[in-house]
Structure 1
Amino acid sequence: MGTDFKIKICGIKDLSTLELCRDLGVDFVGLNFSPKSPRGINRNVAEEILSIRHLPGFPKLVFLFFENSTEEILSLTKELNPDLIQLIRGDRFLTNEIWESFTNQNRLLPAIRIQSPVVSDEELEPKSSLVILDSFQKGLGGGSGHVFPWEFVTNVKRPYLLAGGITPNNVQLALNTLKPYGIDVASGVETDGKKDSNKIKELVQNVRNI
């Protein structure tokens, strides 16, 4: 199936997009519950689109939270049981207790917004097996479509998903330049704020054809 680079499509809001990701063999799918995000969904939408979760080949399921209450995070993760929980370093609503709890469960997928060169992998949540490296935009947990300077992470050796402005047009350059574990894409496969099936197909094809 081509390369081993992993693909995460985040901010899915409808069943047809989720079905497409499964059909294309996307590795991770993200549902966003942040009240700050235009991709934010509620419990009812999540339950509806996760009706296909039982099907073979369903991707690993990631729930993203940013400026959600602790009660909401714990409730949604307990009831809907995602594989991974994506929390944003620097989220002012997060407690150390919830961060450590998901870390100890091996379910935390920490997202770190890069603003300066990374000197050591020890800066990047070494207790988690995988991290997301994203661009920083004040007040946003991600999905801004902005690219951070890739030279900031050229020394990173640990597995990470590269986020921040990845599109079908630049994904091959990003992967060839940095050789990350994979990529995490939200706005880069959207048109007018909605997931675009053609862009998702193009992105996956470009990754697999490296």
Structure 2
Amino acid sequence: MVKVKLCGLRRVEDIISVNRLAADYAGFVFAPCKRKVTPELARALRKSLKSPTKAVGVFVDTPAPEVAAIAEWCGMDVVQMHGNEDAETVQTLRMLLPSGCEIWKAAHVRTADDIRKAAETGADRLLLDAYSPDAAGGTGATFNWEIIPQCDIPVPYFVAGGLSAENVADAVRVAQPYGVDVSSGVETDGFKDAGKMAQFVWAARGEASQAGQGIE
């Protein structure tokens, strides 16, 4: 079954929804954007996150020592590099992060070469996102999923960018990912919507009987 990551969480009610849905990954953004959380808030929310959901800290071009310090203090299970980080950054993080903490690298996909370059960093997993000249992620834009089958991707990968309950099943069918990642596609007026989160998870997992229902 495809893994599901719900990203950009910043409220207690977001965590309640994640726990109720048993999402595989919960994302906390530490990079400058409207969904940014402080380490203090992320640490508090992380403590309310129920197993087996894993916490992902999202960073953009943050120095490796700072990433490692925040990830360890907040209890992150994964660090996601969503900027221009290279193989040297990944190697440094492996030395600094607690044992077992995964490293993911995002690729801002325009061509197959963008995916190849991200894979060369040696990250544990890739996150294939839409390219935007204005933002590192969370734009609500999709990319051409047909590029992915053309690539020989050496590690498990997520598909992100413009996903919603309406198109995630198509993304899974075309891209055959390890997992899918959503943020703006499960929001209403800039905040996570419990009903949309439920519909997305059910649609991603192929639970068609529930996909038309929300959470009260």
Which residue among 33, 41, 47 is the counterpart of 2:43? 47
What runs of 5+ residues in structure 2 fail to find an aligned partner? 208-216
Q: Name the structure 1 match of 2:67.
A: 73
Q: Name the structure 2 match of 1:148.
A: 143
Relative to 1, partners in 2 of residues 1:119 and 1:64: Cα closer, same or farther, differing over 3 Å? closer
Relative to 1, partners in 2 of residues 1:181 and 1:48: Cα closer, same or farther, differing over 3 Å? same
Q: Name the structure 1 match of 2:214.
A: none
| CA distance, structure 1, for counterparts of residue 121 and residue 87 of structure 2 | 16
Task: Name the one with the larger helix percent.
Answer: 2
Mapped contact 1:189–1:203 kept (Cα < 8 A):
yes
Q: Name the structure 1 match of 2:132.
A: 137
Q: Name the structure 1 match of 2:184.
A: 187
List structure 1 runs of 4+ shifted beyond 4 angstroms.
94-97, 103-106, 118-123
1:99 aligned onto 2:90: yes
Tell me the alpha carbon deviations over residues 29-78 of structure 1, each in whole angstroms, 9 at most, x when there is no partner: 1100111x11101122112212214x4x3411110011445554232123
Q: 1:41 is paired with a residue of what secondary structure?
A: coil
Mapped contact 2:87–2:121 kept (Cα < 8 A):
no
| CA distance, structure 2, for counterparts of residue 20 and residue 168 of structure 1 | 16
Q: 2:112 is paired with a residue of what secondary structure?
A: coil
Q: 1:26 is paired with a residue of what secondary structure?
A: coil
TM-score (norm 2): 0.83
1:64 aligned onto 2:58: yes
Q: Name the structure 2 match of 1:26.
A: 23
Identity %: 26
What runs of 5+ residues in structure 1 fail to find an aligned partner? none
Amino acid aligned to 2:126: V
Amino acid aligned to 2:36: G
Corresponding pairs, count? 201
Range 196-205 or range 155-164, more displaced: 155-164
Q: 1:154 is paired with a residue of what secondary structure?
A: helix
1:177 aligned onto 2:200: no
Relative to 1, partners in 2 of residues 1:111 and 1:123: Cα closer, same or farther, differing over 3 Å? closer
Deviation at 1:133, TM superposition (A): 0.4
Mapped contact 1:110–1:125 kept (Cα < 8 A):
no
Q: 2:104 is paired with a residue of what secondary structure?
A: strand
The answer to which structure, 1 or 2, has the higher relative contact order (CA under 8 A, 6+ apart) is 1
Tell me the alpha carbon deviations over residues 80-116 of structure 1, each in whole angstroms, 9 at most, x when there is no partner: 23111001242xxx57643222346662111111111
The two structures, once aligned, show a CA RMSD in angstroms of 2.4
Deviation at 1:120, TM superposition (A): 7.7
Tell me the alpha carbon deviations over residues 138-158 of structure 1, each in whole angstroms, 9 at most, x when there is no partner: 242211111011122122353
Tell me the alpha carbon deviations over residues 116-164 of structure 1, each in whole angstroms, 9 at most, x when there is no partner: 1349857523733311000111242211111011122122353210001
| CA distance, structure 2, for counterparts of residue 87 and residue 168 of structure 1 | 25
